Amino acid sequence: MKLYFVLLLLLGLATSNATTAQITAPVDSIAPLLCKTWRVSYALADNMRIDMKPGVKTPDFGFNTDKTFWIAPFADGSRTKGTWVYDSASKTIKMIINKKGHGTIIQLQADQLIILFDTKEATPDDPTPIKVVYKVKVN
């Protein structure tokens, strides 16, 4: 998991410290919108778009209707699993791996989602959160 954060940081990604984004879709449409396979498209750094460098491989996210998700493949071919839960108070989706928050989905649309990653554990000297925009993976 830390490898993923380090990869993003090495690409020179940073973002603003706060976000007010929320999921505006009705609760009963969240799973149909979310439960797809998603691929990194770009990152937002202080509202500036930073595209992924050609050839850089990043793990995809897959969300399931049983409120689980996976991240794969990592360099060693492994897959990490977690759970997701919609937080109606903040209108976001919390992503949990091993009982720890992994990220928060702050925007969700039919063809795009934005995950806000907390980097405090991976980079304690610069705990700037990272916003990453994902598009639906097309095979």
CATH number of this structure's domain 2-136? 2.40.128.280
Residue % of the chain over a pLDDT of 90: 55
Residue 85 is encoded by which pair of tokens? 């839960």
CA torsion through residues 102, 107, 110, 111, sign:
negative
Each domain of the chain, given as residue ranges in start order, spans 2-136
Of 17-21, 29-33, 114-118, the range with the lowest mean pLDDT is 17-21
Mean of per-residue pLDDT scores for the chain = 82
In sequence order, the β-bridge partners of residue 31 are none
* pLDDT for the residue numbered 126: 60
* pLDDT for the residue numbered 128: 67
pTM score > 0.85 for this model? Answer: no
Of 18-22, 23-27, 81-85, the range with the lowest mean pLDDT is 18-22
Show the CA angle centred on residue 8, arms to residues 134 and 136, nearest 5°.
Answer: 15
Task: Determine how β-strand 130-136 pairs with β-strand 48-51.
Answer: unpaired
> Residue 3: how many CB atoms within 10 A of its CB?
13
